[in-house]
Amino acid sequence: MSFPIDRPRRLRRTDALRRLVRETRLDPSDFVQPLFVVPGAGIKNEITSLPGQFHWSVDRIAEAARRCYSAGVPAVILFGIPSQKDELGCAAYDDHAEVQMAIRAIKREVPDLLVMTDVCLCEYTSHGHCGAICDGDVDNDKTLELLAKTAVSHAKAGADIVAPSDMMDGRIAAIRRALDSEGFEHVTILSYAAKYASAFYGPFRIAVDSAPQFGDRRGYQMDPANAEEALREVELDLQEGADMVMVKPGIAYLDILQSVKQRFQRVTSAYHVSGEYAMIEAAAARGWVDRKRLVLESLLAFKRAGADFVLTYYAMEAAEWLNEEKYR
C-alpha cells in the first residue's frame, strides 16, 4: 500500500521544505572559470563564438581573475592564443609566452586563486593538431616530450595545477616524471582522462583558432560511442599519477561521469564545454529559455551525477548568483 499513505508531494510544499530535503547543492567552490589570454596590451575583446567571454591581454587578465576570486571561485584555467604558430607548437613551452606571463600576473595580483593551465599543443601548432606530425599523423611519443616541457614551463611560471588535454598515451607519466625531476612534486595533475572527439568544441576552436587544418582528432580523442573505454582511460591515467580526472564534454556524457566517479572514487571533474555554453546563449538570446534557470539546472546536473567540480564558462556568473541568493 502506498498512496494515500505515501504522498511525495508533502515534501515539495514550500521553499523551506524543499531546501531542507535537497540532496545536491551548488556552491561557488564547485566551479573553475576558463580564461583566454592573447598577445598585446589593453585588450578585453568579446569572443564572437562565446558571447560574454573575453580575450584578455596579460596586463588585464588579473581583472577577470580577481572577480572570480571575489565571487569565491577557487580556480581559473588558462588557454593561450600565441602570436606565432609553428609545426611544433614552440610557443606552448616558451617561458615568456602569453600563458606563462599570465600565470605570473595572476599569481602576483591574486595569489590565493588557484591557477590551472591547459597543457596541449593545438592552440600553438600551425596544423592545429594536438601534437607533432610525422607522416601525416600525430606522433605520440615525440609529442610526450613537448607536453612535458609545456607542463614544466607552466609550473616554473607558478601554475598550481596542470591539465593535459591532448589525449596522447602515456602523457600523465611523462609529465609527472618531468615535473618531479625539476622539483615540482607539489604541482597537481588534472587529467582530461576521458575526452571525446566532439562537435561540442566548435566555439572554442573558433575562439583559439585551433581547428585541425587536415583530418580531425578522432585518432586520439575518444569515440563518443564508447563507455567502457572511458574507464580504461581513467584507470591508466590514475596509474600514471593523475591526481584528479575529468570527463569532457559535459551534459551529453553524464553517464560516463557517474560511472567514473562510482568506479574509482577519486576527485572527478567535468567540463561544461563551449558548445554547451553556446547552445544555452543562443536559445536565451531568442527568449526561448530562462537563461539563469537553465544554467543552474545544468550545473546542478553535474554535481548530482558525481562531479566534485565543473569547468564552466558560467563559473564567475553562477558564483555571483549563488552569493546573492545565499540567505534567501
Residue ranges in 265-304 that form contacts with ligand PBG under rule CB under 6 A = 273-274
With binding defined as CB under 6 A, does residue 317 bind ligand PBG?
no
- Which CB sits closer to ligand PBG, 74 or 80? 80
Structural contact between residues 280 and 242, judged by C-beta atoms closer than 8 angstroms = no
Q: Could you give phi then psi for residue 44, rounded to 5 degrees? A: -145, 90
Q: Compute the least distance from the CB of residue 51 to ligand PBG, in Å.
A: 14
Q: How far is CA 7 from the centre of its chain?
A: 41
Structural contact between residues 157 and 106, judged by C-beta atoms closer than 8 angstroms = no
Q: Compute the least distance from the CB of residue 299 to ligand PBG, in Å.
A: 15
245: its cell numbers? 580526472
Q: Compute the least distance from the CB of residue 171 to ligand PBG, in Å.
A: 12
- Rounded to an integer, what distance in angstroms lies between the CA atom of residue 320 and that of residue 68? 9
- Rounded to an integer, what distance in angstroms lies between the CA atom of residue 86 and that of residue 128? 9
CA atoms within 13 A on the CB side of 20: 8
With binding defined as CB under 6 A, does residue 122 bind ligand PBG?
yes
129: its cell numbers? 593538431
Q: Mind telling me the catalytic residues?
A: 195, 248
With binding defined as CB under 6 A, does residue 201 bind ligand PBG?
yes
# binding residues, ligand PBG (CB under 6 A): 10
For residues 100 to 119, the per-residue mask of contacts with ligand PBG, x marking binding by CB under 6 A and - elsewhere, is ------------------x-
- Which CB sits closer to ligand PBG, 206 or 267? 206
- Using the rule CB under 6 A, which residue among 120, 151, 152, 299 binds ligand PBG? 120
Amino acid sitting at position 15:
D
For residues 151 to 180, the per-residue mask of contacts with ligand PBG, x marking binding by CB under 6 A and - elsewhere, is --------------x---------------
CA distances (Å), origin 293, targets 251, 277, 318: 15, 14, 10
Q: Residues interacting with ligand PBG, by CB under 6 A?
A: 118, 120, 122, 130, 165, 201, 204-205, 273-274
